[in-house]
Amino acid sequence: MKNNIYVICFGLFAFLILFLTNLPMDFYESIEWVTATDVYSYLKIANAAPEFPKEKIAYHFAYRFIPHYLVGWVSHFSGFSITWVYYLLNHIFSAIGLCFAAKVIWDLTKDTNLTIYLFGLFALSPFVFRMNMFMPGLIADTIHTLGIVLIIYGLVSKGVPFIFIGLILATISKQMVLLVLPGLVLVSYSVFIGKYGMWRTILINVLFLVVTLVLYSFLNYESREFALINSITPKVLFAIVPWFLEKFELRLFLEHLFRIFLPALPFLLFYFFLHKKFEFRQLLTLENVGYLLMFLGPVAYAFLPGPVIQMGNQSRYTSLALLGFLVFVIKNSNFVNLVPNTFSKVIFALILLLYTYHHRYCVFTAPQVVTLITQISALIVLGFQLGYIKRKSDAA
């Protein structure tokens, strides 16, 4: 009970930091500020509630109607403005997601300092919750992230109901849930077979798939009246292939890769310096492969359409299931005392201060290059700190 209170405090404190350091801006101004023009389509859904919109919108936006319909419904029956309800619900879902993410990390580490360190890097990332809290019209992204967090919490705690709730939330908010399913099935089988046996575990996994696919089909069916023809064709999804063949630019490709993996780089450094003795056979367990696939599904979605289509959205997409990669790192690393003294704590605070900054979302705006400098600086300092800790641990 005491530990749960600490975990909630971690989550709410991270939420407070994000809230206080985000740039305050009018709802509609923030749409233009970050070029989140898809929010205008979502507003058509919210403004039409409790009816469906008469004007058709893009197919993939229409599919996500439930979160925005909920906003419109609450606004209609409460009398509060739609923008205020967006802020309220988005912030509530963000706070819940942060608390459960802290709980996942605590349950895996059982160490206060380590939980603060890893959770700080996850929660204060400019790509996981910060952008969505700045632009509440992207509430579907927040709910999807919350859904993935609840799925992973259910896997870590072996709580099947949490996985079902997480799947429902992830499915109603983004089609990308389909990319997470293969990894979920592998982890679930690995985690539950010892508890329920093979056949009950298979049945549970079948139910996960059925619930997700039925709900996915239902959302497509219900939104058909106000959805345009699907424009996300295979030609769009795999646009990187013709780009490679006809318009390849090395600089653009390297930037594409950098933006895709930027949210995961702090945890890649953890794995590089602190991973357990490498044995390929032990690394490729169903559980490990499953967590990696949960992360790599959104990575593939960020990568395959190519830099021209996805430029600017890569880090946002790969952050949706970033917690899955963090769980993989935790399970395959030998952690030592990361903050043994005051100096180490000051260095860690500096890392977080640099890492959490974003030139568009934070209260102090700046040119884009400043974010690049702060991110790279944070990673360099983190690398030196982990390297020092590793050498000191090996010498002991």
Q: Splitting the chain (396 residues) into consecutive groups of 10 residues, what average pLDDT does each group show?
A: 82 95 93 89 92 90 94 93 96 97 94 88 94 93 97 96 97 94 96 93 96 96 89 86 91 94 94 75 85 95 92 90 94 74 84 92 90 93 87 71
* pLDDT at residue 396, as a whole number: 61
Residue labelled with tokens 């995961």: 264
Q: 318 with 263: CB under 8 angstroms?
A: yes
Q: 200 with 160: CB under 8 angstroms?
A: no
Q: 173 with 42: CB under 8 angstroms?
A: no
Measured distance CA(37)–CA(89) in Å, rounded: 20
Backbone angles phi, psi at 333, to 5 degrees: -130, 150
**What is the CB neighbour count within 10 angstroms for residue 51?**
11
Nearest of 207, 175, 173 to residue 188 by alpha carbon: 207
Q: What's the domain count of the chain?
A: 1
* pLDDT at residue 159, as a whole number: 94
CA dihedral 323, 329, 332, 337 (to 10 degrees): -110
Say whether the peptide bond before residue 53 is cis (omega within 30 degrees of 0): no
Residues spanned by the domain of 254:
2-395
Residues linked to residue 227 through DSSP beta bridges, in sequence order: 57
Measured distance CA(54)–CA(45) in Å, rounded: 9
> Taking the chain, what is the end-to-end CA distance rounded to the nearest angstrom?
35
DSSP for 106-157, please give it.
HHHH--HHHHHHHHHHHHT-IIIIIHHHHSGGGHHHHHHHHHHHHHHHHHHH
Measured distance CA(26)–CA(127) in Å, rounded: 20
**What is the CB neighbour count within 10 angstroms for residue 259?**
21
* pLDDT at residue 339, as a whole number: 63
* pLDDT at residue 96, as a whole number: 97
Q: How many residues does the chain have?
A: 396
Q: Using N-to-C axis directions, what is the helix angle for 322-331 and 286-303, rounded to 10°?
A: 150
Tokens coding 354? 């640099």
Residues 6 or more apart in contact with residue 273 via CB below 8 angstroms = 383, 386, 387, 389, 390
Q: Which helix (H) or strand (E) holds 268?
A: helix 265-274
Measured distance CA(370)–CA(126) in Å, rounded: 13
